[in-house]
Amino acid sequence: MSLPFYFSLFFIFSFSFILPLPSLAANETVPCPLNITVLRVVGGGVRPSFDSGTQCHYILQALHLLQADYLRRSNLFVPPLNASESCWTSFQSFINEFDPSIDIRSSCGLKTEWISQGCMNITTKQKFEATVPSAAIQAVQANCNQSLENNAPCALCTTKLSNLLSYLTGPTVGNVTDCRAYTTIYAASLSDQYGVTDPGNAKCFFGLNFSSSSSSSKRRTIVIVVSVFCFVALLVFAGVWTYLRLKRRNEFAGEKGVGTSELGLGLGSGLDSMNQSTTLIRFSFDEIKKATRNFSRDNMIGSGGYGNVYKGMLPDGSPVAFKRFKNCSVAGDASFTHEVEVIASVRHVNLVTLRGYCTATTNLEGHQRIIVTDLMENGSLYDHLFGSSKKNLTWPIRQKIALGTARGLAYLHYGAQPSIIHRDIKASNILLDHKFEAKVADFGLAKFNPEGMTHMSTRVAGTMGYVAPEYALYGQLTERSDVFSYGVVLLELLSGKKALQTNDDGQPSALTDLAWSLVRNGSALDVVEDGIPEPGPPEVLEKYVLIAVLCSHPQLYARPTMDQVVKMLETDESVPSLMERPIPFIAGRIDIEKSALSNSGQLCSPTGYQAYTLQGRRRSISKEEEEEEGSSVADTVTTE
């Protein structure tokens, strides 16, 4: 054999050993390219302040800050896939330095590979700039490449960033770095002088509020000490006043020999201890009978499965509402204690205020449980939209109700400690005061969200048409379950139609499916009710429709949080692109058969994704007549 032949055999033999090496290298875990120490440098080593209800949000924002530094150094948005495990490990070690109880991936519902996946498969700075028009990029560079510590330059920069989202309409892979995050990561990476380590930029881009000033720390300490002192003094005063009032009332009841006994043991002790830390008043049953004229039918202003609601007047002349539960027994004492505890624990302008309660057992009326709240002169939103005295609300009033309801829910989710999930947001639970200020009411089904929990598994309770699909199907309860219900209420407010209707064929029809089909066909304004007095600009009406459809999206992570909803309603921030939906909750047989024949498993475009953005889709306020509204029923799914 010739010498070249042996060389050929040697080459083939050697190549067979070399071939597997790239595959092994591709699967090998490599060190994380993210510089975790940046987080220690930002703000002089002072960690950002946040509460437990929003810890996952702030953890992701801190990760986006690291990605901005990585983009500045490498021109890459996300680390390679084979570095995802090492990046999570490094980031977890940093988080554990100040809170060892947090497991980022399990607590926040994140997958390992998501850290290496992003918006529209854009991985490099060059590809991002090629996707967005150069004029928009130049506007961002001109307005964001500076110190953003003050509100004015920050607001101008974020406005320019929101314009970029209209060009990033493709799908987001994973749930860590979406297209919205890409814009802030890009902007934060622009400058070496005012980069990611600047506290003002960290606050503007990522909402990470650092405080490196010792004088600010001292002022904050003084404010905290004074506030605590005043609060303790107020508690002492309230406790003494309540004690004297209850003592006087019990002595009066003993002298008169009234046949009324207070509930004891579990319920009584729980409410009595609550009295010591709140301004709740424990009314006697006789006081309430006198205020409601012995529960006169003329004083009845509402009723439901729980019982009746009466209006009345307290001795000081203030009008109040009395919610009287029917068919009371000792078995229901726990749920009553829960509702009183929930309402008493929160105070907000868009939440119904609890004035007091009554627990008593009489010889004639039996076991009694009553709560006393402020009277809402304009009733409920349901009364105005669907009640016998239906009124055509003006657009400014509808806008005010939508924003007030969103603020109330956002406070429950992020302002209350621990956070509270309402579970029964619907039009009849949105009450309106004399100025049509919305007040979220009826916390009977509310759940406290334990610290560090991203969701709870619980028995399903709520109202048909308003319950989020993941909650109805799997019992998975999160704050975004309330977001879904809010989206349905917002659609009712905009369209004047009920959440559930019946079509001409007698089949049930969901308002969320109707609104989605209109938006998908570019007819978002057709969702809005005809003849609204003082209608707003078409672009504003369309924005509200898009927010409602986004909130009522059947997929959990496609919905925004309530604080994001408030921001979109209050500012000019654009609405994110709408992800395609799976098959509607209430779909006709023909629709399901079409879906099956398409092998897609869902009613959507062949690509499986269709984005809808506000820009470029302006329609006239005039519309054709909406289909005749059928009857609908809102029943309780289940109750605990």
Distance CA 79, CA 89 (A): 13
Is 323 flagged in the annotation as binding? Answer: yes
Q: Which amino acid, 76?
A: L
Look at residues 441, 465, 460 and name the one whose alpha carbon lies nearest to residue 631.
465
Name the catalytic one among 424, 442, 482, 563: 424
Distance CA 263, CA 333 (A): 9
- Distance from the Cα of residue 518 to its chain's centroid: 24
Kindly state the DSSP code that residue 413 receives in the 8-state scheme.
I
Q: Which amino acid, 411?
A: Y
- Distance from the Cα of residue 249 to its chain's centroid: 43
With a CB cutoff of 8 Å and minimum separation 6, the contacts of 13 are: none
Are the CB atoms for 68 and 196 separated by under 8 Å? yes
Adjacent-strand bridge partners of 520:
none
Burial of 69 per CB tally in 10 Å (0-12, 13-18, 19+):
buried
Distance CA 263, CA 361 (A): 7
Q: Catalytic: 424?
A: yes
Burial of 128 per CB tally in 10 Å (0-12, 13-18, 19+):
buried
- Distance from the Cα of residue 520 to its chain's centroid: 24
Distance CA 234, CA 278 (A): 10
What backbone torsions phi and psi does residue 376 show, to the nearest 5 degrees?
-100, 105
Q: Which amino acid, 29?
A: T
What backbone torsions phi and psi does residue 223 show, to the nearest 5 degrees?
-60, -40
CB neighbourhood size of 347 (10 A): 14
Spell out the SS3 assignment of 602-638.
CCCCCCCCCCCCCCCCCCCCCCCCCCCCCCCCCCECC
Burial of 153 per CB tally in 10 Å (0-12, 13-18, 19+):
middle
Annotated binding-site residue numbers for ATP: 323
Enumerate the active-site residues: 424
